Structure 1
Amino acid sequence: MTGTAEILRVKSHPVGLWTVLELAGELDVAGLPALHRRVDEICAVCAPPRLVIDMTAVTFMDSCGLSGLVRCWQRVGGLQGRFVLVGLRPRVVRVLDITGMRRAFETYDSLEEFTRS
């Protein structure tokens, strides 16, 4: 975590039938309301939701951030949707590896790699 709290910024845009949420900043307890709000909005209008979380600009993620991702993954999965993570930075990968959650998520190195698959 940095010395000054960095608010998580969440932008969305469509890519085909998918909604891409671009996250920027720190994915921790302070940023979770913004993420959850956007995921809930998408789940309310897309059936089934197809969601890509682009984490290229995430500078930090702690256990609260991981818990938030799991909640989003479960929400989308509960609606028979698909949830994908792209652009994982080494610090984020480390948290996912330590907890064993990297195997649970569908991941790609970049949005471009995902769209080519």
Structure 2
Amino acid sequence: MNWILLIIAGLFEVGFAACLGKAKETTGTASYWWFSGFLICLAISMVLLVKATQTLPIGTAYAVWTGIGAVGTVLVGIFFFKEPADFWRLFFITTLIASIVGLKAVTTQ
């Protein structure tokens, strides 16, 4: 169950990074809405991360959480913010995914 919470926490990390990107692109009231979304996603992500670390090793949980956030944020950047998707970016994202899967595989809890 805590692995599921950790994955959801990572997805909310992607959410708060995406909201920051949109807040930077907008002005006025729209910017405040995106910043509010950032704060909400940040709070949910942190609460779920804390919950997950009650039974998972902190080093593994934090690495997986940041890895999900990093991979997701790069993909959001590519698909929604028109960031480059060159070979090396995709190669290193793939190695990051392999590392996350590897951490899950060697963690006994």
Q: What TM-score does the superposition give when structure 2 sets the normalisation length?
A: 0.34
Higher strand content, 1 or 2: 1
Choose between structure 1 and 2 for higher RCO, CA contacts under 8 A separated by at least 6 residues: 2
Higher helix content, 1 or 2: 2
Structure possessing the higher radius of gyration over alpha carbons: 2
